[in-house]
Amino acid sequence: MRIATWNINSVRLRLDLLLKLIDEQAPDVVCLQETKVVDKDFPLAALAARGFVHAHVHGMKSYNGVAILSRRPLAACTVQHWCGKEDCRHVIATLPGGIELHSVYIPSGGDIPDPEQNPKFAHKLRFVDEMTEWLASHRSPDRAMVLVGDLNIAPLVNDVWNHKELLDVVSHTPIEVEKLGAMQSSIRWVDAVRHFVPETEKLYTWWSYRARDWDSSDRGRRLDHVWVTPPLTSALTGYKVLREARGWEPKPSDHVPVLVDIAE
């Protein structure tokens, strides 16, 4: 089973690129973040025509929005709310075989890496804390689960283009890395992409729109992740970070799709 995750930055604007991803990579399941559309306007018909007849979408006007799109049936579709908000950042569904799949969009956190000065950063930290506590108390490492999405944190030295320079930049600060580590430890999540790519190797999934030339400057960060619980680790058979998608015409997302293959 091939699972893709992509922060698409508007599913309506980039529907053609989503169909391109589906046609070229043949995923069985696609998880999206930043769909930026209310549920009634989600372009489900075009996806159904490609065989993605099962969908769990949860969006709002203009901002955020997450989705799970699937060729296979989805069961137990639910929504999680964090920090007392209903801002469409987390959906859950169960795939055939009983694998519980999470599509998550952690808040970006604004610019100032200080929760006292910046409420967005405080929100981000609390969001991760709440998810960690929920996972620890409601889920077990024995259960087959996959968590994917834009976690908006690049935890490893080689998940960013310059570790020292980004230590005080939101997405790579020690407090965020520590909290994401606690979430990962909560039920022994395995980083499915670093399972294949050594930590010594640079790897990014996001390049800013503001760079003059994203490709040659290559100032990226690995913000998008795929995690699996221990029962699925030995079933991991491959991965792909679709760097080429950062150059897709006419208008690329600033994030690229990440794909993982899980043997059934």
Pick the closer one to DNA by CB: 61 or 188. 61
Pick the closer one to DNA by CB: 40 or 138. 40
Query: Is 126 exposed, middle or buried, given 0-12, 13-18 or 19+ CB atoms closer than 10 A?
Result: middle
- As measured in angstroms, the least distance from the Cβ of 37 to DNA is 7
Q: Containing H/E element for 120?
A: helix 119-138
Pick the closer one to DNA by CB: 13 or 53. 13
Interface positions, 244-263, toward DNA (CB under 7 A): 251
Q: Of the ranges 56-64, 93-101, 127-135, 177-185, which one interacts with DNA (CB under 7 A)?
A: 56-64
258-262, strands of its sheet edge to edge: 54-58, 66-70, 29-33, 2-7, 258-262, 236-241
CA atoms within 13 A on the CB side of 235: 19
Contacts for 85 with CB less than 8 Å, ≥ 6 apart: none
- Give the Cα separation of 221 and 156 in Å (integer): 10
Residue from the set 61, 81, 85, 188 that interacts with DNA by CB under 7 A:
61
Is residue 40 at the binding interface for DNA, with CB under 7 A as the rule?
Answer: no
- As measured in angstroms, the least distance from the Cβ of 71 to DNA is 25
Interface positions, 87-116, toward DNA (CB under 7 A): 107-108, 110
Closest of 260, 213, 254, 214 to residue 13, by C-alpha:
254
Contacts for 132 with CB less than 8 Å, ≥ 6 apart: 179, 182, 183, 186
- Give the Cα separation of 226 and 224 in Å (integer): 7
Pick the closer one to DNA by CB: 165 or 201. 165
Q: Parallel, antiparallel, or unpaired for β 99-105 and 145-150?
A: parallel
Is residue 164 at the binding interface for DNA, with CB under 7 A as the rule?
Answer: no
Is residue 132 at the binding interface for DNA, with CB under 7 A as the rule?
Answer: no
Pick the closer one to DNA by CB: 98 or 247. 247
The answer to whether 167 and 174 are in contact (CB under 8 A) is yes
Q: Of the ranges 55-63, 73-81, 173-181, 224-232, which one interacts with DNA (CB under 7 A)?
A: 55-63
Interface positions, 206-225, toward DNA (CB under 7 A): 208-210
Pick the closer one to DNA by CB: 1 or 107. 107
- As measured in angstroms, the least distance from the Cβ of 132 to DNA is 20
Pick the closer one to DNA by CB: 45 or 200. 45
Is residue 12 at the binding interface for DNA, with CB under 7 A as the rule?
Answer: yes
- For DNA, the binding residues (CB under 7 A) are 9-10, 12-13, 36, 61-64, 107-108, 110, 120, 152, 208-210, 251
